[in-house]
Amino acid sequence: MTDPVSRTILLLDIEKYSDRDDVEQAYLRRMLYDITDRALESAGIDERLRLRADRGDSVMELIDAGASVTALLRTLLAEVPDLLQAVNRTASSSAQIRLRGVVATGYVAVDEHDGWVGSDLNHACRLLDAHLLRAALRERPDDFALCVSEGVHAGIVRHDHPGVPAQDFHAVTVDSKNGPLRAWLHGPVPHWAKGPGSGGAPAPDCSGESPAPGADTTGPRAEPKGTAGTPAPPGNVVFNFSGGSPAFGGSLVAGDQHGVSGGQVTGDVHLGRSGGGPA
């Protein structure tokens, strides 16, 4: 395996690729490669400065650290949406191409099988696959959603270079198998992810199931029925209403008890079995 080398990482992925038939998938791959090549060439990044890995519905580019990340971001934001629009204008509804993109930086090594190895690359792939980025693309009328890593934001985006407006990027945190990852999303954040502690994915409800995308998970949770503002019954007390009148069995109610109609019972009350039957 080679020593890890600093690289810029570009990932682009086709939305709903697996929903298409073989002919449509082949067409989408050609469009993905054409758009990627044209964007990189426009940013001044020729083939000598990059390595490519094919992932079927996505493309991964390792770009030489000497290439301008600012120029890459400027091209992705300004030209890729136009390229997508031009392709989709003449494509059938089943061949529309929409892309998620990630730009990150980090150290990547190449092993003896030409595989790429590096935790920074793993994190970039987690961002590309994040529910938040998928939801952001679904909610947008245009065809491109871009996320950048914390390092790219700190080194490039926050400095507000021409063509890379810092105010258009929003801090997000996405959940992943590597734990929470902080990143910066270009454009509007999905509304369910704006609440504090959203984690970039809908919070599960009490049943353990996640709400549908777009569901509001930032509001207060409903309390279980019959518990709002009422203390829980003492332990081991059984309430049985099946026979019409309540029957109590098996415990102690401590302290003075006040009736609803104004009566009062002083002292501890032992609740045995009702109805006069045998214990």
Q: What tens digit of pLDDT does each residue of 38-93 get?
A: 999 999 999 999 999 988 889 999 999 999 999 999 999 999 999 999 999 999 98
DSSP 237: -
Residue 208 lies in a domain: no
Q: Which amino acid is at 159?
A: H
The reported pLDDT for the residue numbered 176 is 80
- pLDDT, average across residues 192-203: 50
Amino acid at position 123, single letter: H
Residues 146 and 277 placed together within one structural domain of the fold: no
- Please indicate, yes or no, if residue 211 is contained in any of the structural domains: no
Our CA dihedral for 134, 140, 143, 144, rounded to 10 degrees, sits at -60
pTM, full prediction:
0.69
Q: Which of 168, 193, 218 is the last residue of a domain?
A: 193
Report how far residue 215's alpha carbon sits from residue 198's, in angstroms, rounded to the nearest whole number. Answer: 12
Q: Is the separation of the CB atoms in 83 and 42 below 8 Å?
A: no
Q: pLDDT tens across 225-269, in order?
A: 344 444 444 444 443 444 444 444 444 444 554 444 444 544 554
Looking at the structure, tell me whether residues 144 and 235 fall in a common domain.
Answer: no
Pairing of strands 169-174, 181-186: antiparallel
Please indicate, yes or no, whether residues 109 and 242 belong to a single structural domain of this protein: no
Asked whether residue 144 is domain-assigned, the answer is: yes
The C-alpha R_g of the chain, in whole angstroms, comes to 29
How many folded domains does the chain comprise? Answer: 2
pLDDT at 206 exceeding the cut of 90 = no
Do strands 99-110 and 144-149 pair parallel, antiparallel, or not at all (unpaired)? parallel
Report the pLDDT averaged over residues 195-213: 39
Residue 79 lies in a domain: yes
One domain for residues 243 and 183: no
In whole angstroms, what is the distance from residue 134 CA to residue 263 CA?
62
- Say whether both 67 and 121 belong to one domain: yes
Residues 250, 176 within the same domain: no
200 within a domain of the structure (yes/no): no
Summarize the chain as % helix, strand, coil (round to 5): 30, 25, 45
**3-class DSSP assignment, residue 177:** coil
Which of 139, 173, 193 is the last residue before a domain boundary?
A: 193
Helix boundaries (H) for the chain: 22-42, 69-78, 80-90, 119-128, 131-138, 150-155
Is 109 in the same domain as 47?
yes
Q: Could you give the CA distance from residue 135 to residue 175 in angstroms, rounded to a whole number?
A: 14
User: Does some domain include residue 224?
Assistant: no
Contacts of 18 (CB under 8 A, 6+ apart): 57
Domain end position, chosen among 172, 193, 214: 193
The rounded Cα 123 to chain-centroid distance in angstroms is 13
Give the structural domain span for 250.
229-279
74 and 185 within one domain: yes
CATH of the domain at 108: 3.30.70.1230
Burial class (CB in 10 A: 0-12, 13-18, 19+), 106: buried
Residue 144's CB is within 10 A of a number of other CB atoms, namely: 24
Residues 84 and 158 in one domain: yes
Asked whether the CA dihedral 162, 167, 171, 172 is positive or negative, the reply is negative
Pairwise CA distance, residues 92 & 82, whole Å: 17
Report yes or no on 153 lying in a domain: yes
Give the start-end residues of each E strand in the chain. 5-14, 50-54, 58-64, 99-110, 116-117, 144-149, 169-174, 181-186, 238-240, 247-249, 251-253, 257-258, 264-265, 269-271
167 and 247 co-located in one domain: no
- Same domain, yes or no, for 161 and 247? no
Confidence of residue 142 (pLDDT cuts 50, 70, 90): confident
Residue 254 included in any domain: yes
For residues 185-210, average pLDDT: 57
Residues 11 and 132 in one domain: yes
